[in-house]
Amino acid sequence: MKTKLNLAVASALLAVASSANAGILIPAGDWTLDIGGNVNTFYNYTSCDDNRTTGAGFRGIGGGLACNIDSAQAGSDDSISNVRTGLLPAFLKVSGKTRQNDLDIGFTISIQPGTSTGGALRTTDQENRQTFLTFGDKSWGTIKLGRDISLFGSDAILNDITILGTGSSFAGGNYRTGSNQGGARTATSSGTSLGRIGIGYLYADWTAQVAYLSPNWNGFSFGVSVVEPYQFGALGGVGTTPVGGPQYDYSEPGFQGKATYEWAGDVGGKVWSSFWTQNVDGIQTATAGVQEIRATIWDIGTKLTLGDFELVATYYNGDGAGTTGFLLDAIDVNGKERDSDGGYIQLGYKIPGIGTKVVASYGESNLDGNAVDRNSALVEKNSSWVFGAYHPLTKSLTLVAEYTKTESEAQNSNVATGGAADVDEDNISLGAILFF
């Protein structure tokens, strides 16, 4: 085994099936099989400070990610203890590669079992995020067919330190109050925490795709892909669905692309930029007839290392792309696009001698509401601070301690006029992650 306990391994585990950071290698005739993955579990204590002044409602702020708890009334405070998976789900990945007819060919299949308790007569979450094949040659590049992490936004999430921990807890994805108290989890529960998803970047997601990945030319590489089209969704449920209903035309696929440049030296690092665009036609509205939009989002970022210091900074900007996930809360009731932007900055320091990495990070995601959103409880901003310590107990096992403060603010945050105000969440997370 050649597992290294750092963020690069997490990135390799998620993003690159043929990574040089191998797991358990098994020769099998002409093939070499690679079995790898991780197991992680964290104790979380989440405290909610709900400053809303009126209304009961789901989560208080539509699309707000702090205090994701169904409360019986506004202005209430809740706290939750749970034992759960962090941002990175438990991962079991099987890859294979061989050389045939002057082609490098390979495959990857993975499963992601949850570790949270299902509650009475319930099961834990389980996903299948990767099923793809590849073929190509180092002289001209690689073709990838199947489901894998998206080109857009992958660097933002894979360089987020909370991929080793929890970040924002998305607590209500696991527990509910009120009428659902008897069973801890529901069919819509979340198997992982949020990290910085929706609080610094849009979720890259795991997309069905046909992709071309270029060779590495002295540090520069790029990729382009055709992806299965996405559908509009309403994370918040506040003024997000056109009056005429969802009768959209998804006859056109989405398109993604990414370019990266890496270098070494006293100040080493990389820069990247990526995009995702998709046309959606047939948006039925009561006031404006049939609408058509092109949802587009792009990001740019950098990771720099100097000795034991590391800096990550990212920014994204979207037009009709939504927030938290692609096309979530992307249009108003008139079928008009909402603009969005955000990013995060992260500073880490590895303590010499003991190897513990301490990190501070701030990020936010903004959704610019249209005129019809001004008096609604639709989210305007999700933001968070993260402070963490990540200690390599062995080369395969890391102990993690994090404190995360998350805040959600509504479009109408004027308390004097009965607005939704803001909701704050404090999350303490203690646990471990094991790579193999």
List C-alpha distances in Å: 43 to 90, 125, 167, 186. 15, 17, 12, 20
- Which residues are 135's β-sheet partners? 105, 143
Q: In this predicted structure, what is the pLDDT of residue 9?
A: 39
- 234-252: per-residue pLDDT in tens? 776 555 555 444 556 677 8
Burial of 300 per CB tally in 10 Å (0-12, 13-18, 19+): middle
The answer to whether position 2 is within a domain reads no
C-alpha 404/C-alpha 356 separation (Å) is 19
Give a yes or no: residue 119 inside a domain. yes
Question: In this predicted structure, what is the pLDDT of residue 204?
Answer: 95
pLDDT recorded at residue 196 = 97
Residues 171 and 408: beta-carbon distance below 8 Å: no
Tell me, what's the pLDDT at 402?
Answer: 98
- Residue 1 in any domain: the answer is no
Q: Check residue 144 and report its DSSP letter.
A: E
- The number of distinct structural domains making up the chain is 1
Domain encompassing residue 198:
7-435
* Alpha-carbon dihedral 130, 6, 274, 295, rounded to 10 degrees: 60
- According to the model, what pLDDT value does residue 234 have? 74
Report pLDDT for 121.
Answer: 39
Distance of CA 103 to the CA centre of its chain: 33
Backbone dihedral angles phi then psi of residue 109, each to the nearest 5 degrees: -135, 135
CA–CA dist 228, 268 (Å, integer): 36
Q: Which of 86, 151, 165, 157 is nearest to 314 (CA)?
A: 157
Exposed / middle / buried, residue 45 (Cβ in 10 Å: 0-12, 13-18, 19+): middle
Cα 135 to Cα 37, 173, 258: the distances in Å are: 23, 39, 19
Given this model, what pLDDT does residue 422 score?
A: 79
What gap in Å lies between CA 26 and CA 34, rounded to an integer?
6
User: Would 364 be classed as within a structural domain?
Assistant: yes
The three state secondary structure string of 329-392 is CCECCCCCECEEEEEEEEEEEECCCCCCEEEEEEEEEEEECCHHHCCCCEEEEEEEEEEEEEEE
8 Å CB contact between 415 and 421: yes
| pLDDT value, residue 398 | 98
β-pair type (254-263, 220-227)? antiparallel
Residue showing tokens 């970040």: 167
- Please tell me the predicted confidence (pLDDT) of residue 59: 43
Ranges of residues in the chain with a pLDDT under 70 are: 1-22, 50-60, 68-77, 114-125, 171-190, 236-249, 282-290, 413-421
pLDDT score for 51: 62
Which H or E run contains 404?
A: strand 397-410
Classify strands 79-84 and 220-227 as parallel, antiparallel or unpaired.
unpaired
Cα separation, 200 vs 194, whole angstroms = 11
pLDDT value for 69: 54
**Closest of 322, 240, 328, 320 to residue 285, by C-alpha:** 240
H and E: helices and strands count for the chain: 2, 19
Task: Look up the CATH number of the domain holding residue 166.
Answer: 2.40.160.10
Would 267 be classed as within a structural domain?
yes
Asked if the structure places residue 285 within a domain, the reply is yes
The candidate with the shortest Cα–Cα distance to 204, out of 354, 88, 288, is 88
